Amino acid sequence: MSEKDGLRTYRGKRRFDRTSEPSGEHGRRDEDASSHEPVFVVQIHDASTMHFDFRLEVDGVLKSWSVPKGPSTDPHDKRLAIPTEDHPMAYRDFEGTIPQGEYGGGTVIVWDQGTYTPTSHDKRHRPVPFAEALEKGHVTFELHGQKLRGQYALTRFHGREEKDGGTSKKPTWLLVRTAGSGEGAGSGTTDPRRARSARSGRTLRQVAADASAPTWESNRGEKK
Ligand code: MN
């Protein structure tokens, strides 16, 4: 998640002639970030280990964490979140199957999507820029998703990110819901095998089946 790295790490891991994931080639900002509320996406990724990928738009890229158990709507339920490389904005639309043998081989669905409101503030209750708060290891935000709604926090609880390839412990974060109750608090199963896409209504299995259908098709723009 190094700031200067941009999407280089992301691109370095993938072969875009083999995977249908977006390359984010059109620069860090592949859309005008100033004209919209920052977005978030939660994907389910049936890779060698099933996990959720939690991504928040920050400064033109998707800051990303791998969340093994997925987000919880129960404030007592802290979820491990392991930082992964920045992803291009276009990744928030990605649903499909990454070929076996490629990085992250397996099927991906968009489990939830929406916008978020950064709510980080300092001790005097002055707002702190989100990227700055992230750097310091603690951000708060309100999710406005189709499934997840309410206040959440991401907090780094040990280790530090190294800027220059140093050998520190891998930083680990906790994702926790901090406030909000009742209706709209969150819905939709986090059982990854039963969960349905917020974009297409499909399960992982259906997306995998579509990917192995004889005619290759892009999932772009598909709606149900
Ligand atoms: Mn993943």
Does residue 51 sit within a domain? yes
Can you give the length of the chain in residues? 224
Query: Distance, CA 14 to ligand 1 centroid (Å)?
Result: 13
Percent of the chain having pLDDT more than 70? 79
Q: Give the domain extent around 205.
A: 3-209
pLDDT band at 15 (very low <50, low <70, confident <90, very high): very high
Whether 83 is covered by a domain: the verdict is yes
H-run or E-run covering 168: none
Ligand 1 geometric centre to CA of 52 (Å): 7
Within a domain: residue 62?
Answer: yes
215 is a domain residue = no
Backbone phi and psi for residue 139, each to the nearest 5 degrees, phi listed first: -130, 145
The total of structural domains in the chain comes to: 1
Q: Is residue 217 part of a domain?
A: no
Work out whether the CA dihedral 143, 79, 62, 133 comes out positive or negative.
Answer: positive
Does residue 218 lie within any of the structural domains? no
pTM of the model: 0.84
Task: Tell me how far the alpha carbon of residue 140 lies from the centroid of ligand 1, in angstroms.
Answer: 23
Q: How confident is the model at residue 170 (pLDDT cuts 50, 70, 90)?
A: confident
CA of 49 to the centre of ligand 1 (A): 9
Tens digits of residue pLDDT in 191-224: 999 999 999 999 999 999 987 776 545 555 444 4
3-state SS of 37-105 is: CCEEEEEEEECCCEEEEEEEEECCEEEEEEECCCCCCCCCCCEEEEEEEEEEHHHHHCCEEECCCCCCC
Q: Is residue 27 part of a domain?
A: yes
Tell me how far apart the alpha carbons of residues 181 and 6 are, in angstroms, rounded to a whole number: 37
CA of 63 to the centre of ligand 1 (A): 12
Exposure on the CB side of residue 194, measured as CA atoms within 13 A: 4
Note the pLDDT of residue 90.
Answer: 96
- The pLDDT tens digits of the residues spanning 88-101 come to 999 999 999 999 99
Separation of alpha carbons 201 and 206, rounded Å: 9
